[in-house]
Structure 1
Amino acid sequence: MSVADSRSAPTDGLAGWALDLMDRLGGVGAGLAIALENFFPPLPSEVILPLAGFAAGLGSFSLVGALFWTTLGSVVGALGLYALGRWVGEQRIRAAVEKLPLVDVEDLDRTTAWFQRHGRKAVFFGRMVPIFRSLISIPAGITAMPIWQFLAFTATGSLIWNSIFVLAGYKLGENWSAVEPYAQVLQYVVIAVVVAVVGYGLAKRIRARRRAAEPEAG
């Protein structure tokens, strides 16, 4: 049975597009959709992965194939962003930071030093965090993380994340879309935490600069 013939299969929007890829190309289509998700965030892996599991349950391709192709797609997409980071390089980033208000080059140096110490853990766990799943590949490229390390930790983290959602779609069957609301809640939590941390950092920086300017004004 083709997944497109199921009454619960999406027929339009991004999910419908991903479904069409899977119907046409099988597991390769699922991998391609996940690879493109790295570059096009509105294409959510939290929809594609359960849909791939659902398709595997219907026999469009095997469960092992779903896990293999989606993980390969994750790695290929991440490699593209890693290459972008390598091309941009630290010098271009430094030049851009020097022109930004409320950001000091020292912040970049501290961030770079942190990533050089903890980059492997950041890449591994970052592949399991919405939003950062794709973005984490860019600093890995900028800091020139060894490619073999990047591939190993990206593949391992992606396999864990993909397995959770592919298996959920496989087990839920016709109710595969029930996964999406929970994934959205997780994404909102991540966004809220990021906004709070960035907001706190900016407020702290503004207060520090105001205090530094007070003696001069007096």
Structure 2
Amino acid sequence: MDDWIIRLVDQGGYWGVALLMFLETVFPPVPSEVIMTVAGVSASRGNMTFAGVVGAGTAGAMLGNYLWFWLAIKFGSDRLHRFADRYGRWLTLNWKEIERGQELFRKHGSIIVLIARMLPTLRSLISIPAGIFGMSHRRFLLFSTIGTAGWSAALAGAGYALGSQFEDVEKILGPLSTAVIVLIVIGYVWRLIRWKPE
């Protein structure tokens, strides 16, 4: 996959970076860690500007973020309630827990979205509760953009600083992303075993 990403960044420039980051947001297995680091390396060679790389990565990711947010709004809280009643065990959620999550989002949604945008895997998923729990479009776009730009700039900066040694960044961020996914899976299995309806 890395070779395909490198080719698209080299040939597509800013549009290639934006497209890849959109795909990364919609299909999380596409790794932003590689995309933005490769784009940073390209900027260090003078093929693109650093600001342009960060802007393109942020714009592409935000398009995907907003797509998930919009779909979650369309799904809606009422439909989620029915879905939770029917499939609560597999969601490992009951309606009381969903209501607690909704209250948490009502009080601290902005900071939750901001922080989640800078965490592997959660970056893409956080749009769904934000939409379902009724976060305002303005706050969603503002705090998502800040977090997404921070993540994009950090990865591009690492690639820019290391030049062609972007494999060193992937050695650190690759295992970190895997660890987050493993923890999420373990947490899900644990909740599935212990789940009881309320």
Question: TM-score when scaled to structure 1?
Answer: 0.82
Stretches of structure 2 that go unaligned for 5 or more consecutive residues are: none
Match of 2:79 in 1: 92
Between the two proteins, the alignment pairs up a number of residues equal to 195
Identity of aligned residues (%): 32
1:119-169, Cα deviation, whole Å (9 max, x unpaired): 111110000111100000111111221111111101111111111110111
**For 1:178-189, what aligned pairs fall within 5 Å after superposition?**
178-189=168-179
Moved over 6 A (4+): none
Out of 83-92 and 98-107, give the one that drifted further: 98-107
Bigger relative contact order (CA 8 A; separation at least 6): 2
Letter in 2 for 1:149: R
CA distance in structure 2 between the partners assigned to 1:68 and 1:121 by the alignment: 22
**For 1:38-49, what aligned pairs fall within 5 Å after superposition?**
38-49=25-36
Out of 129-138 and 191-200, give the one that drifted further: 191-200
Question: TM-score when scaled to structure 2?
Answer: 0.90
Say if 2:40 and 2:159, in contact at 8 Å, map to a contact too: yes
1:7-35, Cα deviation, whole Å (9 max, x unpaired): xxxxxx3x233233223331121111101
Compute the displacement of 1:98 (Å).
0.5
CA distance in structure 2 between the partners assigned to 1:18 and 1:48 by the alignment: 6
Letter in 1 for 2:180: V
Match of 1:24 in 2: 11
Out of 96-105 and 170-179, give the one that drifted further: 96-105
Pick one of 107, 110, 113 that aligns with 1:123.
Answer: 113
Stretches of structure 1 that go unaligned for 5 or more consecutive residues are: 1-12, 213-218
Match of 1:36 in 2: 23
Match of 1:62 in 2: 49
When Rg is computed on C-alpha atoms for both structures, the one with the higher figure is 1
**Cα root mean square deviation, aligned:** 1.9
Say if 2:105 and 2:135, in contact at 8 Å, map to a contact too: no
CA distance in structure 2 between the partners assigned to 1:101 and 1:22 by the alignment: 42
Out of 140-149 and 16-25, give the one that drifted further: 16-25
